């Protein structure tokens, strides 16, 4: 690993440990045991619904892809998220690995890379709507409290900056061909010889606004479904909390993590966000951290086997090629 990545991981672990230490290791441990295996099993089983939706949102962007390839996009999305959450990369590394996984299962490289770029865009647009929901719920919760209003102001600024970033990202795809081609060459070396074709494919996707709108709608459904999974896991574990509170917490934590996308695996960022936001919506800081650790455990239970299978399939492909 590069020194910068090692340093970022070290800082993230230090922040996460400091947050847990501030709240109290015994309190966090008790909260985690309260959620327990039942909550983890529920979340793991339920998580395949959001993955199905996320893979479907990616699939609809692949114009004229046969229906038999639908599961390929779902599988590749699982690999993308597993790599982003478990491997020492930024989220960009997960995007590359997800596209490669799709190529290995028969998707044309140009189609895999172009749809990945647009899929990231549609997910960002959907997240804007989901974050807007969280900001609205935070505004309702803050009332006249100064600290809440200050946080609302920061959230609104963050939402505006995210919207501007999304607009700039779309503008670069539509009019900044040279820059996008350099990014493709840098982060998607498998498509380096086909950057022109990738740009043409991106233009073709944007020429079908119904597909873009469908992908955004499915992504938004997936964001909501993911929050419902957390709520359901807590309810199964005996933690009573309103679904609206979980929707708000998940939307705002997701926004913070997206803004800090360069942080490998979101270490430290996720834990600090839960500890700060959870209590605002009636979820104690120790339970908020338990939710963060629950999601980390879910990523391990699903992601490790998925990545091992992917590595095995890639190894077989290389052996067969040799």
**pLDDT tens-digit map of 15-35:** 888 888 878 888 888 888 888
Asked whether residue 131 is domain-assigned, the answer is: yes
User: What is the chain's mean pLDDT, rounded?
Assistant: 84
**If you average pLDDT over residues 64-90, what whole number do you get?**
88
Question: Do 290 and 28 meet the contact criterion of CB atoms below 8 Å apart?
Answer: yes
Question: What is the number of structural domains in the chain?
Answer: 1
**In angstroms, rounded to a whole number, what is the distance separating the alpha carbons of residues 94 and 69?**
20
**If you average pLDDT over residues 238-252, what whole number do you get?**
91
Asked whether residue 320 is domain-assigned, the answer is: no
Supply the pLDDT for residue 146: 45
Kindly tell me if the per-residue pLDDT of 247 is higher than 60. Answer: yes
Asked whether residue 5 is domain-assigned, the answer is: no
Kindly tell me if the per-residue pLDDT of 14 is higher than 70. Answer: yes
Domain that holds residue 255: 39-313
Higher pLDDT, 260 or 144: 260
Supply the pLDDT for residue 175: 66
pLDDT tens track for 275-297: 888 988 889 899 999 999 999 99
Q: How confident is residue 302, by pLDDT bands cut at 50, 70 and 90?
A: very high
Kindly tell me if the per-residue pLDDT of 153 is higher than 70. Answer: no
Asked whether residue 254 is domain-assigned, the answer is: yes
**In angstroms, rounded to a whole number, what is the distance separating the alpha carbons of residues 148 and 52?**
36
Kindly tell me if the per-residue pLDDT of 86 is higher than 80. Answer: yes
Asked whether residue 233 is domain-assigned, the answer is: yes
Kindly tell me if the per-residue pLDDT of 110 is higher than 70. Answer: yes
Inter-axis angle of helices 285-321 and 91-104, nearest 10: 40
Report the share of the chain in percent with pLDDT over 90.
37
**If you average pLDDT over residues 200-228, what whole number do you get?**
94
Kindly tell me if the per-residue pLDDT of 179 is higher than 80. Answer: no
Asked whether residue 274 is domain-assigned, the answer is: yes
Asked whether residue 7 is domain-assigned, the answer is: no
Asked whether residue 29 is domain-assigned, the answer is: no
Q: How confident is residue 137, by pLDDT bands cut at 50, 70 and 90?
A: confident
Which tokens hold the place of 33? 């045991």
């Amino acid at each position: 690993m590069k020194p910068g990545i090692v340093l970022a991981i070290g800082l993230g672990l230090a922040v996460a440990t400091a947050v847990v230490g501030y709240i109290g290791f015994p309190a966090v441990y008790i909260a985690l045991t309260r959620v327990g295996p039942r909550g983890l099993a529920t979340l793991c089983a339920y998580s395949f619904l959001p993955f199905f939706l996320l893979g479907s949102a990616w699939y609809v962007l692949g114009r004229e892809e046969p229906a038999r390839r639908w599961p390929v996009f779902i599988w590749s999305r699982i690999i993308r998220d597993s790599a982003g959450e478990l491997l020492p990369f930024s989220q960009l590394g997960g995007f590359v690995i997800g596209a490669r996984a799709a190529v290995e299962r028969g998707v044309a490289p140009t189609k895999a890379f172009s749809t990945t770029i647009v899929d990231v865009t549609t997910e960002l647009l959907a997240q804007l709507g989901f974050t807007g929901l969280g900001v609205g719920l935070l505004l309702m919760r803050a009332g006249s409290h100064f600290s809440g209003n200050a946080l609302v102001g920061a959230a609104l600024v963050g939402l505006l900056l995210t919207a501007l970033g999304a607009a700039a990202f779309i503008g670069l795809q539509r009019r900044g061909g040279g820059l996008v081609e350099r990014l493709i060459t840098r982060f998607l070396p498998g498509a380096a010889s086909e950057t022109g074709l990738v740009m043409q494919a991106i233009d073709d996707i944007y020429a079908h606004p119904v597909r873009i709108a469908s992908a955004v709608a499915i992504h938004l459904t997936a964001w909501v479904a993911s929050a419902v999974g957390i709520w359901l896991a807590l309810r199964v574990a005996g933690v009573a909390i309103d679904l609206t509170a979980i929707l708000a917490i998940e939307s705002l934590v997701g926004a913070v993590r997206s803004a800090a996308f360069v942080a490998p695996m979101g270490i430290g960022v996720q834990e600090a966000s839960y500890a700060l936001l959870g209590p605002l919506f009636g979820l104690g800081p120790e339970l908020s951290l338990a939710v963060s650790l629950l999601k980390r455990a879910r990523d391990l239970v699903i992601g490790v086997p998925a990545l091992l299978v992917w590595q095995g399939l890639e190894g077989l492909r290389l052996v067969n090629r040799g």
